[in-house]
Each structure stands twice: as structure tokens, then as C-alpha cells.
Amino acid sequence: MRGGANFDDWLISNTSYDCPKRLPCVLASTGRRRHRSEMTETYRPRRSVLYVPASNDKALAKISSLACDAVIIDLEDAVAPAEKVSAREKLAGIFANRPGRRCEMAVRINPLSSEWGADDLLAAARCVPDAILLPKVDTPRDVLESGDVLDDNFSPDEVKLWAMIETPKALLNIGPIAELGRDPASRLVCFVAGTNDLVKETGILDRRYLTPWLMQMVLAARAGGLDLLDGVFNDFRDLDAFARECGEAAAMGFDGKSLIHPAQIDAANRAFAPSAGAVAEARSVKEAFALAENAGRQVIALNGKMVERLHLAQAEKLLAKAAAIGA
Ligand code: COA
Ligand code: MG
């Protein structure tokens, strides 16, 4: 087991961001992890990420006609216990018919602690998905153990892990979990907020009270270099309220939203794309710093505003994102 018998002690003493020096020591316990090289990630839009129950043939048949950036084929909460095995058996057929267009495909498995989790993980790995979404992650060990299974079964490095942040324990351990994102060998690239479970587990009655925890996820995701998706909006017929929630999530720093219905895709794609104004501003920052007169300058004035080189880096990132999604 990754980290040995003292892993829980290690976790307790590493609940802050002081752990980067220690985490690689834990990870260094296997040669495979130690020697895997750093990989350069290309930007992948994850504005709209739609759950599709693996048990729902009609919904599965729709995937290739949808404009979402990614789908999550769900084996967990959307699938009844009596259908868990037959849903898992469909995975190979689903992945044999991947949409021709760019659309990441992830599989959400059942928790490894459940009777279905281990078989789900192996079946998902055999499909070589873009990612496997782990539910009910409580500690870094939950991610590391799944990564070990993928390594042991020779899953290519391209198969990434996403983690649901949906338990009180995950929030208490969010720093060390996020820190795994700094080691490509962990495969962790994305957090998905599980707001329905958080509401159920904590008893809060209003999304307003989720905000501090959602912001904690944003902070941790950025510290770990991870993408971050907001939770689902259950009232799928109320598209105005959905669009409002997408706008809020974009302003909070989320990269995209997890969705339950195709009608939600357009609003999410719009909300998490850079606006035309932001693209124009980014272009002007880039052009200003490209002028010969500004070559050696760290800070300039542009249209009455102070602009620093950090704004140039931000502008370049935004322009790369806009180019990737054709905004
Ligand atoms: N993915 C793909 N297609 C979907 C879809 C989804 N998540 N949800 C609905 N559709 C399809 C339907 O199959 C239907 O197709 P049709 O036009 O060929 O008949 C169309 O979109 C319209 O669906 P609608 O009748 O409005 O909804 P519904 O009553 O069939 O389904 C839900 C409503 C909520 C049950 C369904 O959207 C769903 O199961 N969503 C995912 C739930 C989930 O995965 N939960 C776990 C994560 S929180
Ligand atoms: Mg959940």
C-alpha cells in the first residue's frame, strides 16, 4: 500500500501546504512513479461535462450529437444496484463508438470500498478512457491506490484520474489530495465538486453556505495545478437559474460545470468561455508588450491602467484557451 502503514500519521501531520517536500518521498516508494517523466499537458476545454448513465441506452446514443466538451459515463449514482453489472458490461461497446469530434470521455466508477468498485476500475481501464472519475475520495491514498491499479494493469499514462470532492473528509484533506496534481505519476488532473453529496453529508440547506467549501476547492485545485468542475444543477428545466449559477461558478474560478441534461450544454459553454471583451483586452496587452519600446519593461500603462508582465502571462493563457475553443 502506497506510503506504508504510517500513511495515516503522515496525513494527519500534513494537512497544510507544507507537504510538497514530503509528498515526493511518499511517492518515491515505487520506481515506476519515481522514473515517470514530467508530461506537458495541452489545454483541454472542460466547460461542459455531461453525466450520461451507462444504463440509459437512449442517452448514450445521443453523445455523438452533443456539443459538450466531455462526458462522464456513470456507473455510480445514476445506475440502480440491479443494473450495475449490466451497465459495466456495456462500457466496451460505448468506447468502441467514441464520437469523431473532440470530446473527452471519462468513466465514473463506484467507490472501491463497494462491491462493484474494483471490477468497475478494471473494466474502465480496459476501455482506455481519457479519465476515470473516482467518487467519495477522502484521502490522497484513495487516488494513489487507484493509480497503482492502473499502473499494475499497464494502463497508458494518458488515462488520467479525476476525483469527486464530495465528503467532509475530502474537504479536510483537500490540500494533500490536490498536491498529487504536481506529480504526473499520480495521474490526477481534475476535481469535480459533488455538491449533492456535500449537501446530504453536512445538512446545509442552501448553496450559499457551500461557497466557502467551493472556494477552498478552487484554491486547492490551483495549488495542485488541477482543473476544477462545479457540481450539477438539479432543476434542469430552469435554464435561467442554471445560466446564473454557471456565471457565478465562472466568476469563482471554476473551469466548467458538471451537467445532467443536454439542455444545459450551451449555457455552460458560453459561461466558461472567455468573453469577446476579455479576448480583445488580452490581445491588446499582448500587442503592447510586443512593441519595441516596451521590450525591457516590467510594467506599462495601457488605456489608463497599470499592466504588468503577470498580466501578459494571464493574457497569453486566455488567448490559448480562446483559440482552443474557437472563441
Ligand atoms: N445524456 C444524454 N442524453 C440525455 C441525458 C443525458 N444526461 N438526459 C436526457 N437525455 C436525452 C433523453 O434521452 C431524451 O432523448 P430523446 O430526445 O431522444 O427522447 C432527451 O435528452 C430529452 O430528455 P428529457 O425527456 O428532457 O429528460 P428525461 O426525463 O429523459 O431525463 C433525467 C431526465 C434527469 C432522468 C436525465 O437527464 C438523466 O438521467 N440525467 C443524468 C443523471 C445522472 O447521470 N446523475 C448522476 C450524476 S449527478
Ligand atoms: Mg456523489
Contact yes or no for 43/227 (Cβ under 8 A): no
What separation in Å is there between the alpha carbon of 262 and the centre of ligand 1? 7
- How far are the Cα atoms of 70, 192, 248 from residue 166, in angstroms, in the given order? 20, 8, 19
From the CB of 169, is ligand 1 less than 6 Å away? no
Q: What DSSP designation does 296 have? A: T
Tell the residue number behind the cell numbers 466496451, with chain if given: 92
From the CB of 239, is ligand 1 less than 6 Å away? no
Q: How far apart are CA 217 and CA 198, in angstroms?
A: 13
CA dihedral sign of residues 304, 306, 309, 314: negative
From the CB of 85, is ligand 1 less than 6 Å away? no
Q: How far apart are CA 220 and CA 169, in angstroms?
A: 14
Q: Which three cell numbers stand for residue 166?
A: 464530495
What separation in Å is there between the alpha carbon of 200 and the centre of ligand 2? 10
What separation in Å is there between the alpha carbon of 59 and the centre of ligand 1? 6
| Burial zone of 276 (CB within 10 Å; 0-12 exposed, 13-18 middle, 19+ buried) | exposed
Contact yes or no for 246/268 (Cβ under 8 A): yes
Best residue among 258, 260, 264, 265 to mutate for probing ligand 1's pocket (most ligand atoms within 8 Å of CB) is: 260
For the question of whether the overall pTM of this predicted structure is more than 0.85, the answer is: yes
Sequence-distant (6+) residues with CB within 8 A of 41 are 189
From the CB of 261, is ligand 1 less than 6 Å away? yes
pLDDT in tens, 73-114: 999 999 999 999 999 999 999 999 888 878 999 999 999 999
pLDDT in tens, 260-284: 999 999 999 999 999 999 999 999 9
pLDDT one digit per residue (tens) for the chain, 327 residues = 343 444 444 444 443 333 333 333 333 334 444 334 444 457 899 999 999 999 999 999 999 999 999 999 999 999 999 999 999 999 999 999 888 878 999 999 999 999 999 999 999 999 999 999 999 999 999 999 999 999 999 999 999 999 999 999 999 999 999 999 999 999 999 999 999 999 999 999 888 999 999 999 999 999 999 999 999 999 999 999 999 999 999 999 999 999 999 999 999 999 999 999 999 999 999 999 999 999 999 999 999 999 999 999 999 999 999 998 987
Classified as helix, coil or strand, 140 is: helix
